[in-house]
């Protein structure tokens, strides 16, 4: 089992904020496309330190599984 690496906060098109625990950013982006097609952006934070690591949008997607 993989250890959790990131906390992710998503801004959806319905003006809601959603929070997830994520290990793979590419799989997570696919999940967002299927479940929340109109998602706007998501911010990625380190699971332990809560340090902000990055931000991604529909047009600026993660290119790797990890930051």
For the chain of 67 residues, list the mean pLDDT of each consecutive stretch of 10. 84 91 96 93 96 96 95
Q: How far apart are CA 55 and CA 64, in angstroms?
A: 13
Give pTM, 2 decimals. 0.89
pLDDT at 2: 59
DSSP 8-state code for residue 4 = P
Strands (E) in the chain, as ranges, are: 6-11, 17-22, 41-46, 52-57
pLDDT at 56: 98
């Amino acid at each position: 089992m993989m250890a959790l690496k990131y906390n992710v906060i998503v801004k959806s098109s319905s003006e809601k904020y959603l929070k997830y625990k994520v290990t793979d950013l590419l799989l997570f982006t696919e999940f967002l496309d299927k479940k929340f097609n109109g998602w706007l952006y998501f911010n990625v934070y380190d699971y332990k330190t809560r340090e902000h690591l990055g931000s991604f949008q529909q047009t600026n997607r993660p290119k790797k599984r990890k930051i």
